[in-house]
Amino acid sequence: MATAGNNLSAFEPKKLTNCAGFRIGIVVSEWHQNITDQLLEGALQVLDTIGHSKDLRQIIRVPGAFELPFGAQQLCKKHNIDGVLAIGVVIQGETRHFDFVCNGATNGLMEVMLKYDKPIGYCLLTDNNEQQSIDRSGGIHGNKGIEAMVAVLKMLQNKQNDTH
């Protein structure tokens, strides 16, 4: 496991100082809400730490992980958004449903990102059990919401630097 024994959620706010003005959309799955709310809290913590205005944030909720691409697309299409963070959880079950949802969400998010030329942070936990998701949403492996939001901001910085 890539994060075994590692908490990768530490970040350097001073490296994100020019990010406070980006318009950020966040699409959050309602499925496993106890976990997705913790991931959202981590993402918002990053934005608060860098002095990001709440007026520059748009948060929408969708039923589950499979609906994340549509939610991300709506944010890109209908709102003046620079980048999006997609937050969801899919826990392995006894059927192949896990595979279909994970693949659909992943491929859909990538398609939306490339279609709209806007970074979409991937905060879709795909774990074997609920404890693994808890460990990655503020537990022993940190908070993947923090890591994914930092990734969105870094990609926005890269995009901004490419246009200057």
Helices (H) and strands (E) in the chain, counts: 5, 6
Query: β-pairing, 57-62 with 24-29?
Result: parallel
Q: HSE-up of 87 (CA within 13 Å, CB side)?
A: 34
For the question of residue 141 being annotated catalytic, the response is no
- For 129, phi and psi rounded to 5 degrees? -155, 170
Q: What are the start-end ranges of the E strands in the chain?
A: 24-29, 57-62, 83-91, 120-127, 137-139, 142-143
Q: Which of 32, 97, 141, 164 is catalytic?
A: 97
- 3 state DSSP class of 31: coil
* DSSP state, residue 23: -
Active site residues: 97
